[in-house]
């Protein structure tokens, strides 16, 4: 894709952000001491606008240092190459320079398109601003200033190019022009209110385990499209109006401990969600004889909740991750062998 390199900053950050939870989910569905200092969440929440449909956070150093991530490296053949390319494009070493990442999506974000819409990613760490600026401008990027921040707009052949705001030596914000400038405004106490003024969001945040290495909180409207940019199936969308908020969190160590919480519009919605999840879990446990490797995961799942809420807790133990890694590696090797055979036949 012709626009891929200019979006390394945004896409790379989002990949880091979701790595902890996504890896465990995709597989079958060290850690740092505390992901944030209090129930108020990380300071970067002050950058997120009130009304945001989704907010996600990752303790990047916690993800990178975890044994869970080290075990997954065998599945990520291109991880080293991708990290090197990201560093070449931005001057940032993901593993050493970034401490945490927070991402925000707001109404109007163009998911599944070639531009970042109304979203941004804020990276906290240690950045060589002069090096980042030199790299982007050397590739045709444009430079301007906004309230003391250096704004870099990478050259883009089509669509809206993401803006890279060099706010300080420890804060870089990437996203759409409007979203980035709005975040800078809020960082200086100007502009619209932040998400911390939303009592419902704060309540969901307070339900997140403070030992979480990664977490995400959102409204169902944030998930109305899939990765292809198409709408979700109508039968799924029909159930979403009953859900007001969803929160997912995970703590990485040797394995993954994760919690998924949902809040319905009323007690009937909460009861329906609990019954649906209990039914799915009961059905899955009936299949354990056919897939014994799933037993540790399924046995760890607990569903609880009262009123309009439901919570699902699960643990992916380290030994189960080893099994998944071996199976995935075997499947990958088989796929590669098949591709080689097809290539050989084509040459013959």
Nearest-angstrom CA–CA distance, 296 and 230: 35
CA-based max dimension of the chain? 67
Record the pTM.
Answer: 0.73
pLDDT reading at 25 higher than 50:
no
- CA pair distance 272, 6, nearest whole angstrom: 45
Beta-strand pair 214-218/142-146: unpaired
* Amino acid 329: pLDDT: 67
Q: How does the average pLDDT of the chain come out, rounded?
A: 75
For residue 128, the tally of other CB atoms under 10 A from its CB is 16
Question: Highest mean pLDDT: which of 17-26, 34-43, 86-95, 160-169?
Answer: 160-169
Residue pLDDT, tens place only, 288-328: 777 777 777 888 899 999 899 999 998 887 777 667 666 66
Quote the DSSP letter at residue 44.
G
- Three-state DSSP class for residue 227: coil
56's enclosing H/E stretch is strand 54-59
**Are 56 and 215 in contact, with CB atoms under 8 Å apart?**
yes
- Kindly give, in sequence order, each residue whose CB lies less than 8 Å from that of residue 204, ignoring residues fewer than 6 positions away: 217, 245, 247, 261, 263
Residues 108-118: pLDDT tens digits?
Answer: 644 444 444 58
Query: Could you give the CA distance from residue 118 to residue 101 in angstroms, rounded to a whole number?
Result: 17
* % of the chain beyond a pLDDT of 70: 67
Give the ranges where 234-286 is alpha helix by DSSP (H): 234-237, 267-286
* Cβ-based neighbour number of residue 87 at 10 Å: 18
The 10 Å Cβ neighbour count of residue 98 is: 23
pLDDT tens digits along 107-158:
864 444 444 458 999 999 999 888 888 888 887 888 899 999 999 887 665 5
Contact yes or no for 300/314 (Cβ under 8 A)? yes
Q: What is the DSSP annotation of 90-105?
A: HS--HHHHEEEEEEEE
pLDDT tens digits, 228-266:
444 445 555 555 558 889 999 988 777 788 999 999 989
- Nearest Cα residue to 61 out of 104, 124, 131: 124
- The continuous run of DSSP H or E covering 107 comes out as none
Dihedral angle at the C-alpha atoms of 183, 187, 193, 194, nearest 10 degrees?
Answer: 70
């Amino acid at each position: 894709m012709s626009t891929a390199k200019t979006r390394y900053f945004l896409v790379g950050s989002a990949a880091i952000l979701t790595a902890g939870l996504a890896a465990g989910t995709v597989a079958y569905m060290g850690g740092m001491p505390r992901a944030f200092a209090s129930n108020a969440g990380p300071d970067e929440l002050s950058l997120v606008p009130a009304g945001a449909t989704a907010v996600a956070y990752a303790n990047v150093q916690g993800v990178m240092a975890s044994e869970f991530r080290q075990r997954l490296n065998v599945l990520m053949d291109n991880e080293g190459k991708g990290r090197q390319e990201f560093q070449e494009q931005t001057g940032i070493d993901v593993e050493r320079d970034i401490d945490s990442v927070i991402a925000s999506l707001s109404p109007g974000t163009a998911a599944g398109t070639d531009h970042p819409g109304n979203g941004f990613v804020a990276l906290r760490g240690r950045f060589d601003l002069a090096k980042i600026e030199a790299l982007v401008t050397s590739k045709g990027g444009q430079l301007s200033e906004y309230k003391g921040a250096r704004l870099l707009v990478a050259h883009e052949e089509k669509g809206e190019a993401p803006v890279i705001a060099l706010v300080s030596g420890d804060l870089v914000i990437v996203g759409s022009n409007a979203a980035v400038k709005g975040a800078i405004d809020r960082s200086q106490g100007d502009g619209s209110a932040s998400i911390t003024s939303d009592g419902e969001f704060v309540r969901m945040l307070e339900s997140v385990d403070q030992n979480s290495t990664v977490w995400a909180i959102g409204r169902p409207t944030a998930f109305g499209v899939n990765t292809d940019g198409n709408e979700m199936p109508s039968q799924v969308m029909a159930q979403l109006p009953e859900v007001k908020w969803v929160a997912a969190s995970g703590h990485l160590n040797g394995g993954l401990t994760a919690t998924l919480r949902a809040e319905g519009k009323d007690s009937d919605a909460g009861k329906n969600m609990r019954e649906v999840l209990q039914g799915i879990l009961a059905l899955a446990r009936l299949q354990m004889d056919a897939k014994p490797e799933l037993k540790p995961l399924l046995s760890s799942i607990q569903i609880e909740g009262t009123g309009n809420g439901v919570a699902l807790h699960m643990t992916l133990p380290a030994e189960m991750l080893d099994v998944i890694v071996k199976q995935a590696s075997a499947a990958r090797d088989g796929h590669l062998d098949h591709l080689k055979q097809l290539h050989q036949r084509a040459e013959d």
